[in-house]
Amino acid sequence: MVAVAILTVCVSLLSSTISSTVAHTAVRRERTLALVAAKNVLEDMHKADFGQLFALYNHEPADDPQGESTAPGPHFEVPGLTARAGDSDGFVGEIVFSTPAPPLLENAQDSRLGLPRDLDGDHVVDGEDHSTDYIVLPVSLRLEWASRAGDGVLELTTMFADLSKP
Amino acid sequence: MKTTRVPAAARARAGFTILELVIGLVILGLLLANVGMVLRSSTAAFEAGALSGALENQLEQTMDRIELAIMSSDGEDLAPSAPLSASIIDYERCLGVEDGELVLDDPERIELVLGSGQVVWTQNPEAAGERRVVWTRWVPEYLELELPNGADDNDNGVIDEGGLAFDLDGKQVSIRLTLEREDERSTRYARTRESRVTCRN
């Protein structure tokens, strides 16, 4: 009886180890998918005209450069990942600027994006709209998905800049 | 009627009957068989996980190398665009700017060598001072789920693309790579990665 009990405990320990290893592998795979998707979106943003980045990827469809609702917008899907059940937009990924729509403010309070900071290179942090004259553009990519091990989150923050001489 | 009474001390000393022993042995056998099956399946799962993990690491490392190489190159005339694709790309890395002109490094090439299934990086291809480095092996002739039939089997917008495929869209290059290996049980494991890189120059 004792031997059977010990054997049962051992087998259950072994099987729980295997199942947690499999779950860990799945979570790692999900994170890799999220990271690759985020990098691809950043590369798409690199391809776009720098001066139009904010207009292309903000929440405001009216300022899209090619006409209303023609730009990719702030949300993106990630193949292989599913948005969380209660997600408001139903997408895994979102591109976050200091302000979601014009005006683009450099005095916004967002330490994650390094704001407030001078966005138009005039050495002054003011409360004006800089959606058309920024020379640096802090941006964050936030990905949230339903994972096998709870909710998965990945956030990448970077800054686009156009500092070339006129 | 005559009955035989077994004394209590004798009952306490009595062993198991043959039937009890047989039942015990059968239960023990079943348990051991189950443990054996669990161990065998866990070993197989571990080996599969290890192989998949190694494949993913290799894939990630190779893609990082390719992306970094292309990212720093001059983005003109790199490869044909979708729905055509190429398993070879020639490029020149930008070293900087001198007197307003781009300074480019020696020409380089990344290609899939069919037959050996290798991704090979070459500096100064087909010229003096040629240098070749194998970046990875295990690349199949065609990308995962793609067949040589003139159709887009894997629904990625490219037809009959190789195990390593480049296609160009403006200054952006799409890179697709599949690595495939077999384990001792002849089970195939394939991993595919697709990424986009925009040439910075």
Question: How many structural domains are present in chain B?
Answer: 1
User: Which residues of chain B lie closer than 8 angstroms to A47, CB-CB?
Assistant: 170-172, 198
At how many degrees (to 10) do helices B18-71 and A2-47 cross?
Answer: 10
Query: Could you give the CA distance from residue B135 to residue B179 in angstroms, rounded to a whole number?
Result: 12
CB pair distance less than 8 Å for B198 and A36: no
Q: How is residue B129 annotated by DSSP?
A: T
DSSP string, A92-160: SEEEE-SSSSSS--SS--BGGGTBS--SSSSS---SS--TTT-SEEEEEEEEEEEETTEEEEEEEEEEE
Quote the mean pLDDT of chain B: 85
Nearest C-alpha of chain B: how many angstroms from A126?
Answer: 31
* Mean pLDDT calculated for residue range A138-154: 90
Chain A residue numbers with beta carbons less than 8 Å from the beta carbon of B46 are 18, 21
Q: Per-residue pLDDT averaged across B57-78, rounded?
A: 86
The verdict on a CB contact (< 8 Å) between A43 and B195 is yes
Strands A75-76, B172-182: pairing is unpaired
Look at residue B165 and tell me if it is in a domain. yes
Say what percent of chain B tops pLDDT 70: 89
Task: Tell me the per-residue pLDDT of A13-55, one tens digit each, with 9 for 90 and over.
Answer: 877 777 777 777 788 889 999 999 999 999 999 999 999 999 9
Measure CB to CB from residue B31 to each of A7, A22, A39 and give the nearest one: A7
Confidence of residue B39 (pLDDT cuts 50, 70, 90): confident
pLDDT for res B80: 62
Whether B45 maps to a domain, the answer reads no
Note the pLDDT of residue A4. 72
Residue B149 resides in a domain: yes
Q: Which of B11-15, B73-77, B136-140 has the lowest mean pLDDT?
A: B11-15
Tell me whether A23 touches chain B (CB under 8 Å).
no
pLDDT of residue A104: 93
* Token pair recorded at residue B160: 């009959």
**What pLDDT is recorded for position A54?**
95
Of A1-10, A156-165, B62-71, B101-110, where does the model show the most confidence?
B62-71
More confident residue, A4 or A54: A54
Partner B contacted by A22 (CB < 8 A): yes
Query: In this predicted structure, what is the pLDDT of residue B7?
Result: 65
Give mean pLDDT, residues A88-109.
Answer: 92
Q: Report the alpha-carbon distance of residue A58 to residue A102 in Å, rounded.
A: 8
Q: Are A122 and A80 in contact (CB under 8 A)?
A: no
ipTM: 0.75
| pLDDT score, position B112 | 93
pLDDT for the residue numbered A34: 94
- Alpha-carbon span A34 to A125, nearest angstrom: 34
Tell the residue number behind the tokens 């199949």, with chain if given. Answer: B140
For B150-188, the pLDDT digits (tens) are 888 888 888 888 899 998 888 889 999 999 998 888 888
- pLDDT for the residue B183: 84
Please name the residue of chain B whose CA is at the shortest distance from the CA of residue A5: B31
From B141's Cα to the closest Cα of chain A, the distance in A is 24
| Cβ-based neighbour number of residue B77 at 10 Å | 9
- Give per-residue pLDDT as tens, B77-105: 565 655 678 899 888 888 888 887 878 88
- Taking an 8 Å cut-off on Cβ atoms, the answer to whether A22 and B193 are in contact is no
Domain boundaries, chain A: 23-161
Q: What is the pLDDT of residue A160?
A: 93
- Over residues B111-138, the mean pLDDT reads 93
Q: Provide the pLDDT for residue B10.
A: 59
Residue range B62-88: mean pLDDT, rounded: 79
What pLDDT is stored for residue A165 in this prediction? 62
Output the pLDDT for position B6.
Answer: 59
The parent domain of residue B131 ranges over 52-198
Rounded distance between C-alpha atoms, residue A25 and residue B40, angstroms? 19
Give the rounded percent of residues in chain B with a pLDDT score beyond 90.
36
Which residue from A9, A7, A16 is spatially nearest to B27, judged by alpha carbons?
A: A7
Q: Is the pLDDT of residue A158 over 90?
A: yes
